[in-house]
Amino acid sequence: MKKHDATNQPDRTQQKENAAKAKPHNVLEAFEYIAELAEDSNLDADFMQKATPHIQYATKRLKLSDKQVILLALFVEHSNRNRIHLSDLAEYIGCRTTKLIGLTGDMDYLEKLHYIRVRHRDDELYRVPKEALDALRKNKPYQREEVTVTDTLSFFNQFNRLMDEREDDELTYGDLKSDVIDMLKKIRHSHFAQALNRELYDKDDKLLFVFMAHLFIENADDNIGFHDTDQLYDKGTPDRYKKELRNHTSSLFQADFIENVNDAGMICPDHFKLTDKAKDEVLSEINLCRTGQSKKSLIKHGDLPEKHLIYNASEKKQIEELSAILSQERFNDVQTRLREAGMRPGFCCLFYGAPGTGKTETVYQLARQTGRDILRVDVDKIKSCWVGESEKNIKKLFDSYRNLCSDTALVPILLFNEADAVLGVRQEGAARAVDKMENSLQNIILQEMETLEGILIATTNLTANLDKAFERRFLYKVKYERPTDEARAQIWQTMLPGLSHEDAHTLSAEFDLSGGEIENIVRKHTVNAILSGHAGVDLQLIQDNCRLERISNNTRRRIGF
């Protein structure tokens, strides 16, 4: 804050006199008067004499010392900034920064109470949290809401909160370690705390494992590198810990809590993940399927943008019927009647056909319209080169989905997008390990489809290789044809409202494109319009982009099944 010019000195003197005589009605008024008197005062004896009534009012209200009240008043005065340096306060009160450095003990106490926060690695930059300001506005001392740690789940909830502060550089490594050890004492009778105390003796090792477990619980992170662990330490991962992890001499390896990540059969020495022992035994008190493991791939229906899709007549009828069935009232009723008739209550649907015809987008729009979230399956991440891993992955996926179904009011959609890799014909008399793994994976999926009580939708571009056992289990099978001439014209006009009726039909007749290809061309046309500053529709440019869209440059070729 800049100092006032000398020409305003009489006014400034009068303001200070008024501040000295005023009577505060609340803490913020007291802070206002203290800040007014402190400006250019060097916090001298005259300032202390005039500010004492306001200081005493605040000390009584907040249960702080005189120095702490003065410092807090100065920080609040500068709270419009998110980065306050001690030199800013020193300039404001007209003293050297070293004078304020002598008050760091009082600032540490204010930080402990969370009245102020400091970025320790960023040249000691301070801020006043919004929650503290809100309390002061209500004329109350700030009492930070504490999370009660009573079990393993609440332990990790609180650790997540501490890591937010750590990532903002407002919590030192030492303070984090101290807090974690205290929390472990609070849940010392839990299986988790007992396992850590039994297997890990070093506090730093305990904190490192807690951090890795936190990454897995929150983000399903099974590939933890030193770039991840760097955020735990004040100056990056210490070389000593890197060496122990690389050489497998770390107690985390000796306890069989972590292992190296394997990429295409190669061990990655600098990348780690939790072992099955750590997940299934040490973290057994947490239902991992109910935490971040499923949330990572969960698409919220409210985050899906509305899109108007154009279908051919046969597709439109089936999609409208499916949309009606998936509404909350109708779906519950249908499932009840199926159960009463002794039939499977689950809905398995297959969307198949040409690329770019809207299969995946249809799933998104169904989810948005019916208020259902989507658990999207990344088939590549399920399949592993390691024997037995793929089967474990698919079982965990369906376990996760079942838990989501029981935890949510509306059953979410389980989406196997581009599911060709897991829906193919099973190999008879498979001899190779890869073929056996594929068959085993498919058998598990078939079994899960039999007992499914939710909604599974699979999309695929290929159907010639679809296993008959899968075909029988899909209740709805919607074939997506390439759009007709009339449908293409509607797609053109929907995506380019400025396009005339005649031009839309001209493009439709001339170019046999899918909806996805048309969307790509429209996006390119929009980018060109932004760059050129020309907002109109350039038919010639659109036609040129249509010819360039297909790498084969053959726009009249039909693709069928």
Number of CB atoms found within 10 A of residue 393's CB:
15
Q: Is there a shared CATH topology between the 6-137 domain and the 301-480 domain?
A: no
Q: Looking at residue 386, what is its pLDDT?
A: 47
pTM of the model: 0.48
The three-class DSSP label of residue 462 is: coil
How many other C-beta atoms can be found within 10 angstroms of the C-beta atom of residue 498? 9
* Spatial CB neighbours of 13, under 8 Å, sequence gap ≥ 6: none
Q: Tens digits of per-residue pLDDT, 91-133?
A: 999 998 888 888 888 888 888 888 887 776 555 678 888 888 8
3-state secondary structure 310-370: CCCHHHHHHHHHHHHHCCHHHHHHHHHHHHHCCCCCCEEEEEEECCCCCHHHHHHHHHHHH
CB-CB contact of 380 with 297 (8 Å):
no
CATH 1.10.10 corresponds to the domain 6-137:
yes
pLDDT tens digits, residue range 461-487?
Answer: 876 667 788 888 888 889 888 888 888
d(CA 281, CA 56): 56
Quick one: which H or E segment has residue 225? strand 224-225
**Block residue for tokens 């503290």:** 132
CATH class of segment(s) 301-480? alpha beta
Identify the CA nearest to 382 among candidates 432, 418, 427, 426. Answer: 418
Domains of the chain: which residue ranges?
6-137, 152-286, 301-480, 485-549
pLDDT digit string (tens) for the chain, length 561 residues: 444 454 455 577 788 888 878 888 899 999 998 999 989 999 999 999 999 999 999 999 899 999 999 999 998 998 887 678 888 888 999 998 888 888 888 888 888 888 887 776 555 678 888 888 888 888 889 887 766 889 998 899 899 888 888 877 777 898 899 999 999 999 999 999 999 999 999 999 999 999 999 998 887 778 899 988 988 988 889 999 999 999 999 999 999 999 998 865 678 889 999 998 998 889 988 865 444 444 556 788 888 888 888 888 888 899 999 999 998 888 888 888 888 888 888 889 999 888 888 898 999 999 999 999 999 887 766 665 444 567 777 887 888 788 778 777 789 999 988 887 777 665 555 555 566 667 788 888 888 888 888 999 999 887 666 778 888 888 888 988 888 888 888 888 888 888 888 888 888 888 888 888 888 888 888 887 777 777 778 888 888 888 887 665 444 433 332
Among the listed residues 437, 425, 377, the one whose alpha carbon sits nearest the alpha carbon of residue 401: 377
On the CB side of 172, CA atoms within 13 Å amount to 10
